[in-house]
């Protein structure tokens, strides 16, 4: 039976949540990969772990405190940048801080082992209506802001310095984008868990970037890969009693390998961008950065 997990209510919830996560993660992932900021998602996922631990410690719903945690983490990374700390070092510092806070809070909280494991490794088959509502709300916010400032994000991705001299408030936009990345991490945590959340953001985007398509097509293709990976991963995990999060990530890795092979067999030679304003360049740049 095709998609037999849909015969169960928990399977329907898992699919809906998975589709929300797939579209949200893959959309923002293309920008992160092209700007070589893939580790931001990984760093913020560990900051989110600190927020989850705080929620378990205080009795507040953990995903709510995770949202607060990633927003504070994004502000922390931005503040460290103002202090002239290198971006990779700032991410590493917040990564360590979030993990340390989480470990300490977990160590002094009673009877949380099962809850912690569910957030570390994901429990998409066990998500509830509250999880779905939160994921949908955060997904709408992320996608909405991404579309609202689409040309600005593309301009910064292509050339941040050119965007800055063109009058864009680059530091403010970068802060907003980091916060959006954090919210995306929270959206994905119930699907694949803290330990694999960056994979769902980075791998579909990396796979489609290999094919050097126009920017908009790359984002749409990455969404398609992520959606298919969620559906296929859920079906495989249901059929063979495997971990859903790991199954989904392995499917995305399969797509990456296939895309890398296709890129080598059928290489494309990008054209040089034309001159003009950054708005014009955003629409004209071909290949892997348009």
Closest by alpha carbon to 49, among 180, 176, 205, 196?
196
Domain ranges of the chain: 7-289
State how far the Cα of 234 lies from the Cα of 236, in Å rounded to an integer. Answer: 6
Which CATH entry fits the domain spanning 7-289: 1.10.10.10, 1.10.540.10, 1.20.120.80, 1.10.3470.10?
1.10.3470.10
Cα 3 to the chain's mean position, in Å? 25
277, 166 contact by CB (below 8 A): yes
**pLDDT by 10s per residue, the chain, length 290:** 567 778 888 888 888 988 999 999 999 999 999 998 888 988 999 999 999 999 988 989 888 999 999 999 999 999 998 888 988 899 999 999 999 999 999 888 876 665 677 788 777 777 888 888 988 999 999 999 999 999 999 999 988 888 889 888 998 999 999 999 999 999 888 778 887 888 889 999 999 999 989 999 999 999 999 999 999 999 998 888 888 888 999 999 999 999 999 999 888 655 554 444 444 445 444 344 44
DSSP 89: H
């Amino acid at each position: 039976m095709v998609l037999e997990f849909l015969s169960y209510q928990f399977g329907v919830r898992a699919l809906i949540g998975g589709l929300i996560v797939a579209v949200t993660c893959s959309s923002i992932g293309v920008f992160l990969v092209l700007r070589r900021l893939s580790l931001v998602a990984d760093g913020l996922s560990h900051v989110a772990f600190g927020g989850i631990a705080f929620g378990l410690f205080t009795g507040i719903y953990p995903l709510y405190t995770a949202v607060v945690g990633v927003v504070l983490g994004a502000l922390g990374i931005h503040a460290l940048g103002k202090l002239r700390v290198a971006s990779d070092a700032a991410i590493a510092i917040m990564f360590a801080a979030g993990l340390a806070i989480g470990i300490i809070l977990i160590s002094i909280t009673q009877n949380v082992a099962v809850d912690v494991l569910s957030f570390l490794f994901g429990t998409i088959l066990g998500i509830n209506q509250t999880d779905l509502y939160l994921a949908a709300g955060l997904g709408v916010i992320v996608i909405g802001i991404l579309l609202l400032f689409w040309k600005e994000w593309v301009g910064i991705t292509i050339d941040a310095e050119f965007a800055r001299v063109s009058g864009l408030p680059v530091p403010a936009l970068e802060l907003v984008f980091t916060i959006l990345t954090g919210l995306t991490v929270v959206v994905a945590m119930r699907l694949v868990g803290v330990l694999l959340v960056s994979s769902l953001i980075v791998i579909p985007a990396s796979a489609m970037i290999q094919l050097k398509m126009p920017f908009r097509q790359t984002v749409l293709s990455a969404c398609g890969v992520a959606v298919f990976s969620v559906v296929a991963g859920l079906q495989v995990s249901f059929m063979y009693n495997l971990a859903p999060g790991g199954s989904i990530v392995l499917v995305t890795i399969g797509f990456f390998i296939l895309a890398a092979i296709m890129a080598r067999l059928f290489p494309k030679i990008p054209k040089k961008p034309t001159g003009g304003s950054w708005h014009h360049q955003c629409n004209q740049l071909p290949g892997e950065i348009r």
